Amino acid sequence: MTHRLLSIGHGYSGRATENALGPGWQVLGTSRRAGAGTVLWPDGAAEALLRATHLISWVPPGDDGDPVLPILRDLPAPALRWIGYASASSVYGDSGGALVDESAPDAPATERGHKRLRAETAWQAFADRHAVPLARLRIAGIYGPGRSVLDALRAGRAQRVVKPGQVFNRIHVADLGRIVAAAARQRLDGPLILSDDEPAPQADVIAHAAALMGLPIPPAVDFDSASLSPMARSFYAENKRLRSARMGPDLGLALLYPDFRAGLSAILAAGG
């Protein structure tokens, strides 16, 4: 049997998932431009959803809510057996640096986190109407080839921002793809944290990357005086240590890149 995954907003993370799925899967990736092997969005949504056995949305919510659901809401999906929604770890809010796993309550502390949780709730209602499981994929900061502090250092735009006691988790895009592919295969239901095993200050990550590349370590910049985008600044509004209690027991997976050192070294070794 061929499984068909409709991947909405099929980009960096979607391609990593496609690579991890392997034989027996067809990926219907959406695009706003017509092209070979793509689903034109939103014009081709109805036909694609008729064929899809699995569906994942990578599209973030906007100020008016989730932009995908109004397009899908009234379309038939006779073959659909699983849905994944790419959410974010911001739904957990700030734990003051304490450990957070999937048993933690939802307690968003930022507008970005509230938007994500509202979108999760809307996707849950959609999944319930179709009587299929919904994996709420709570993803840490994504990095990988072409999208890491290595690139920021090369471009001279890396800021080693210091906020005492602040840590983040990350996830290498290859591990993200493997986890989402396994969740789709096993039709995982409920929340799932996608993160590495070592929360660390971003300043430490940049310093390590600079050392790997043989570059000068950028000077420390105090958080209050750092030039950050609103989204980047919102990351520093929360302090938590993520750990998935489900990835091993429920999916039978171990990370290829359990910490930023392993991930960055692999990217650099591959010429990234």
Q: Collapsing DSSP states into helix, strand and coil, what is residue 81?
A: coil
Number of separate domains in the chain: 1
* Residue 187, pLDDT above cutoff 90: yes
pLDDT single digits (tens) 45-61: 999 999 999 999 999 99
pLDDT single digits (tens) 210-238: 999 999 999 999 999 898 888 888 888 89
Q: How many CA atoms lie within 13 A of 267 on its CB side?
A: 24
Which residues does 124 contact at the CB level (< 8 Å), separation at least 6? 134, 136
**Calpha distance 80→55 (Å, rounded):** 8
pLDDT single digits (tens) 93-141: 999 999 999 999 999 999 999 999 999 999 999 999 999 999 999 999 9
Domain of 180, CATH number, reads 3.40.50.720
Residue 87: beta bridge partners?
Answer: 138
Q: What angle do CA 221, 225, 227 make, to 5 degrees?
A: 85
Domain that holds residue 117: 3-269
